[in-house]
Amino acid sequence: MNHHHVDEVRTADVVVVGSGVSGSAAAMTAARAGARVALLEKQDTFGGSAALSAGMFWTAPTVEAYQARIPLGRLDLGRRLVADYEDALAELRASGVRVSDEPKRDIMTFGIGYSTDIKAILAWCRDEVVVAGGEARTGTAVVALVDDGRRVTGVVAREADGRLVRYDASAVVLTTGGFQGARDELTRHIGPNADRLLLRSNPGSVGDGLRLARAAGAGGTTAMSTFYGHLIGHPVNRFEPQDFLPSSQYYSGSTVLVNLRGERFVDETQGDELLNQAVTFQPEARGVLIFDDHVRRTEGTEEPFPGLGTIDRFALAVEAGATHAVADTLGDLLDVVASWGVDRANLGDTLERYTAVAGAGGGVARGIPVAAGARAPQTGPFYALMVQPSITFTFGGIRTNADGEALDHDGRPVPGLYAAGADIGGLSNYGYAGGLAPGYITGRWAGAAAARAARTAVGSSAEGLDPAVGTAALAGAR
């Protein structure tokens, strides 16, 4: 990968690839540890998918809660995530950005977290990098890692005008936000229907980190077929970033969810982000939510997170073009749903068995669990909404340890290479441990480890020198 004819060579201690919450935290942490950082973002604005989020800084409250919700997750990463949460929260509060005083509990059924000003957090991280003598650039796409056969020694980046720049650095941190924008990768790892997933993400997360890490010898992970997203009405006539939060059908855990055959296929009370994955593997990657007026007026309009506002999610989906039905009786509703090509007899039987089992306090209906807390549709009018799955980020990716070091197929560190956020694999796996908080916290791990590597590489000769001399000496030492 060293054959690029570059137009310019720059030096840094640490290069961070991607400026979402994990890249921003990695860059800030490395800069505060004394490293000269180059934060490179390929899009023309900073912030990645984090900048589109609601700003809830949440994760599992305990290791036990992490294991219960994400039994397939990487326990070594989960342990350190939970252990570091309070410290990360205190760091944000100390920065002066807005963090709510009161926590929100039972987020996504189990998490705890605080509402924050995510855009202010991202800006604060970049300011820390620049204050420490580093740089933050947009329109700069990393096209290759550079290595000397022993370790990663930097990157080659293409600037917006096409110029190629090589950054010589002691450490590179990959934080490109996952591979949800790469249709071929989705099909390869998730399977048929995955290329139909609605992209509920920034458009730049197309697997850059994964491909760069693979080329450097990094190993694979679990969770490659699992991902985070929310159910969205089907079809939609528009799906822009401003639609991502309002169009999510967060209340689906309180509905009866059937596929186009009129059959349930999952315990609905698992929650929307798990149902979203399950729908992907159903015929045509579609489902139908069936619920009553009570659900529409309660969960259907409640704020899932502070700051999202109370909105009628069913009405918004209808406005965006989704196939839907409203009827005074459940029987009439099922007649309309049958007109969409769903088998009426099968659908009727599904609802009948579900209602009986839910009324008896839970159990199994036609082979599919019905939770003890499940509530059948009771109070008219009744509603049906066709839904499709979306993808915000992928759960598989680069293999790392709990210091953020990228590991090869044998589990040994790839010298000079680090990763964080949605680029790392296995912290979430089917179950979801959160987005912003795990991104920020894993970013801190990688940033701290990368800064340590830069100090070690410079060696004792640079002690007491200013960073510019240190990096110049380092570049010469190669």
Class of residue 358 by CB neighbours under 10 A (exposed 0-12, middle 13-18, buried 19+): buried
- What is the length of the chain? 478
Instruction: Determine how many CB atoms are found less than 10 A away from the CB of residue 102.
Output: 8
Please name the residue that has the structure tokens 């056969």. Answer: 149
Question: What whole-number distance in Å separates Cα of residue 141 and Cα of residue 17?
Answer: 8
Instruction: Compute the average pLDDT of residues 32-59.
Output: 96
pLDDT in tens, 375-400: 999 999 999 999 999 999 999 999 99
Confidence (pLDDT) at 175: 98
Please name the residue that has the structure tokens 């005008």. Answer: 161
Residue 474 has pLDDT above 60, yes or no: no
Confidence (pLDDT) at 137: 98
Label residue 473 by pLDDT band (50, 70, 90): very low
Of 438, 445, 446, whose CA–CA distance to 56 is shortest? 438
Instruction: Compute the average pLDDT of residues 289-305.
Output: 89
pLDDT in tens, 83-94: 999 999 999 999
Residue 465 has pLDDT above 80, yes or no: no
Residue 469 has pLDDT above 80, yes or no: no
3-state secondary structure of 87: helix
Which residue segments constitute the domains of the chain, with CATH numbers given?
8-223+392-477 (3.50.50.60), 230-388 (3.90.700.10)
Q: Are 121 and 92 in contact (CB under 8 A)?
A: yes
Instruction: Compute the average pLDDT of residues 8-27.
Output: 98
Question: What whole-number distance in Å separates Cα of residue 302 and Cα of residue 164?
Answer: 50
This prediction has a pTM of 0.92
Label residue 477 by pLDDT band (50, 70, 90): very low
Question: What whole-number distance in Å separates Cα of residue 473 and Cα of residue 478?
Answer: 9
Residue 1 has pLDDT above 80, yes or no: no
Question: What whole-number distance in Å separates Cα of residue 237 and Cα of residue 433?
Answer: 31
Residue 306 has pLDDT above 90, yes or no: no
162: left (phi over 0), alpha (psi -120 to 50) or beta: left
Label residue 461 by pLDDT band (50, 70, 90): very low
The structure tokens listed for 383 are 């509603």
Confidence (pLDDT) at 470: 36
Residues 6+ apart with CB under 8 A from 317: 232, 233, 247, 249, 324, 385
Q: Are 281 and 204 in contact (CB under 8 A)?
A: no
Given the DSSP bridges, would you call strands 405-407 and 287-292 parallel, antiparallel or unpaired? unpaired
Confidence (pLDDT) at 457: 81
Residue 460 has pLDDT above 60, yes or no: no
Instruction: Compute the average pLDDT of residues 45-71.
Output: 96
Instruction: Compute the average pLDDT of residues 306-316.
Output: 83
